Structure 1
Amino acid sequence: MAPKRAGRMSIFRKGTAELFSKKWPRLFFLTAALQAIICMVFEAYTFAKFQYGLYDMDQPQFRDNSDIQSQLKTIPTFLGLFILGFIYVVVMVWDALLMKNTIQVIGLCIANLALLVYGGLQIDQIHSAVVFLVDNSAFKDKYIWNEVQGLLIAIPCIIALTTLVLGALSWKLYQEFAWDILKHIGADYRMKKRFLHYQVYIALLKFDFFFFIGFTIQFLVVVGGKSPVEFGLTAAAIPVTIAILLCAAWFTRREWKSGMIVVMILYLGGLTYFIFKLVRIYEPGEASYYMPVRKSLTAFAVLTIILIIMTIINAMVCMFNFGHGLKQHLLSGPRPELDKDQASYSMHDVKQSQLPSRMTID
């Protein structure tokens, strides 16, 4: 086991060093990292202003008011989840560049747009929470919203600009990774198409994980306390979901059809769960529990439903591709490095008959 681990660590170090040695991957990573650092600083400052600006919430007039307690949870939940989102994007960027997954790179640009939408929702939801808490004399500073409003508005602007830059850089990465995929998979069009389906599926699994976790965190923190049973079942779903996603990737890589069928059945269960939650958010008898984060929960639920449907479709496509040779490419290491100039003059016509290496005398 030790040599195998050493080999994996060697590949890991080599891939990371290569990531930062090339211009376009380095710029893509640094752009995403810079966005994350600036926005997380803004979020952390806003969070600190809110936390230190509150009166003692253990006082009876605050502690016994369920509406105040609900709104108090809204602010740290939004800010904490947003910080988690930026960290996850940076990790996904690093992973996409290391794995040379063009589809994941494009998906990250779309995920950045989702963060942009979430940033807009954050402004509205936090403003509503602050106004409610100020009206109920929970803040020492009645003008605290004016102090943080500019930072919260700046965050979506930064994300929008970063998304444009990442979109331009993703085209350069597409051109660069196309050559790397050609070296690893070969020039067979059908094999490259199968590999593309595999990349789409793996990228979807990674995005499924974030949106499910994001929805679950909001649910547990803000509305989970109203039912201990529902809270426990929702919390238990987190490790189960992680296990399902890991198994889904492993089954696809090993081309195990039985496992894939079981996973797709579980996907349908997850789809049913999120549709149920989406309907429940707007039920007249339940709507008040979800009001503090209803817009955000709705956005996460809708995006997760769309992602699960896309994941099921791509899982079926990948399963149809089983047994056509992709497994050997996925489980084998990369082909020996061959630069473009060498490839241009080392191509041999496969139809040309091979000459003997030396002359023979009859």
Structure 2
Amino acid sequence: MYLPNSKWTWLFVMTAVIQAAVILGLEAYVFADFQLHLHSFSDSASSSKTIPTFLSLYIFGFVYELILVYDALRLKNTIQIIGLCFCNIGLLIYGGLQIEQATQEENLWRQTKGIMIAIPCIIAFSSTFLIFVAWKLYDEFAWTIYKHISADLRMKRRYLTYQIYIALLKFDFFFFLGFTVQFVVIVTGKTDVEFALTLAAIPVTILILFFAAYFTRRENTLGMCAVILLYFGGLAYFLFKLVRMYQPSRAPEYIAARRSLTFFAVITILLILATIANAIACTINFHKGLKPHVMRPRKSTDDEKATELGTRVPGEGVPSRMMID
């Protein structure tokens, strides 16, 4: 499916691509420098796991963000576009945590100080521009959603709830995966059972998120109830981990990445709470006429223009739009 052909769409894409290319290049340099000088670090045993995990996860974050940018624009999902702006701010905060981690290794910090400081600055500038372009895209895509859903305000709100829920699922995946990877690689003192269960949770989570979207589109109430129960299980898991990493008896196991794990755990908990609320709202909206709009494929840009030209009454000008409030 092609992207909408507008200047704001391409500005959003170009900003995200340029940001990712620059940050990935800088991160790759830091990663290579770290690997080449690993022997000179004061605590190479700990650093050999912690710092590469930070860098790799950061790199993956920007690659995943690019995928979501394409997905949001092709679907004209204004909610996901707004979510990407917040995600970029989250990556900015994570860049600050990366600086804190690098300062613990004097040699690495001395060699890459300028790059480490430049990365959050670049992301901050990009985030500001992305927010501005997202605002323009919000105006641009509102008319498309109006034509797709009709002027029924209640139906439009149901569709908005659905859009928020689907966008949340995509961000849930990244933050859950980010926490799990750090836990598996960095945290010490794990039992074999705990390690195996944590690894097994990754494919299970992917399946849960897939069926969560599937049951919502198909308006399967029983399936959604099961998914919501699983969300509560995930919420309990992250609350347990968050408390556990600050227990005096277990703190040494988490100390190497506790700030980063805390960041991911808190964000994931907030996302799960929002996901549960929207999952319940979507379930309440089942069998109220939204399904045909969700299942029906969007028209292409050319088709939309043709429809608009074909249905417009001469002399009336451009039809009024209804914004998603």
Is the 1:96–1:102 contact (alpha carbons within 8 Å) kept by the matching residues of 2?
A: yes
1:1-362 correspondence runs (5 A): 12=1, 16=2, 18-19=3-4, 21-55=5-39, 68-128=44-104, 130-131=105-106, 143-223=107-187, 226-334=190-298, 336-338=303-305, 340=308, 342-345=310-313
Is the 1:274–1:305 contact (alpha carbons within 8 Å) kept by the matching residues of 2?
A: yes
Partner AA of 1:294 in structure 2: R
Aligned length: 312
SS of residue paired to 2:187: helix
Please list the CA deviations of residues 32-68 of structure 1 after superposition, one character each: whole Å capped at 9, or x if unmatched: 11111100100000010010112299xxxx9xxxx64
CA distance in 1, matches of 2:275, 2:108: 43
Is the 2:179–2:265 contact (alpha carbons within 8 Å) kept by the matching residues of 1?
A: yes
Please list the CA deviations of residues 286-322 of structure 1 after superposition, one character each: whole Å capped at 9, or x if unmatched: 1111111100000000000000000000001111111
CA distance in 1, matches of 2:66, 2:311: 34
Is the 1:43–1:83 contact (alpha carbons within 8 Å) kept by the matching residues of 2?
A: yes
SS of residue paired to 2:240: helix
Aligned equivalent of 1:354: none
Which structure's relative contact order is higher, taking Cα pairs within 8 Å and 6+ residues apart?
Answer: 2
Is the 2:102–2:109 contact (alpha carbons within 8 Å) kept by the matching residues of 1?
A: no
Is the 1:119–1:155 contact (alpha carbons within 8 Å) kept by the matching residues of 2?
A: yes
CA drift of 1:98 comes to 0.8
Partner AA of 1:345 in structure 2: V
Aligned equivalent of 2:319: none
CA distance in 2, matches of 1:238, 1:81: 15
Is the 1:47–1:79 contact (alpha carbons within 8 Å) kept by the matching residues of 2?
A: yes
CA drift of 1:96 comes to 0.4
TM-score (norm: length of structure 2): 0.92
Partner AA of 2:99 in structure 1: I
Bigger shift: residues 237-246 or 182-191: 182-191
CA distance in 1, matches of 2:52, 2:262: 19
Partner AA of 1:86 in structure 2: F
Please list the CA deviations of residues 309-346 of structure 1 after superposition, one character each: whole Å capped at 9, or x if unmatched: 00000001111111111101111233552455554416
Instruction: Work out which of the two has the higher radius of gyration on C-alpha atoms and give 1 or 2.
Output: 1
Is the 1:225–1:231 contact (alpha carbons within 8 Å) kept by the matching residues of 2?
A: no
CA distance in 1, matches of 2:63, 2:108: 27
CA distance in 1, matches of 2:262, 2:38: 29
Ranges in structure 2 where 5+ consecutive residues have no aligned partner = 317-325
Is the 2:102–2:108 contact (alpha carbons within 8 Å) kept by the matching residues of 1?
A: no
CA drift of 1:224 comes to 5.6
CA drift of 1:145 comes to 2.3
CA drift of 1:144 comes to 4.1
CA distance in 2, matches of 1:347, 1:228: 73
CA distance in 2, matches of 1:106, 1:156: 20
Please list the CA deviations of residues 70-110 of structure 1 after superposition, one character each: whole Å capped at 9, or x if unmatched: 23211101100000000011111110001111000000000
CA distance in 1, matches of 2:110, 2:11: 35
CA distance in 1, matches of 2:173, 2:23: 22
Partner AA of 1:244 in structure 2: I
Partner AA of 1:219 in structure 2: F
Is the 1:25–1:97 contact (alpha carbons within 8 Å) kept by the matching residues of 2?
A: yes
* CA 224–213 in structure 1, closer or farther in 2 if over 3 Å, else same: farther
CA distance in 2, matches of 1:104, 1:307: 14
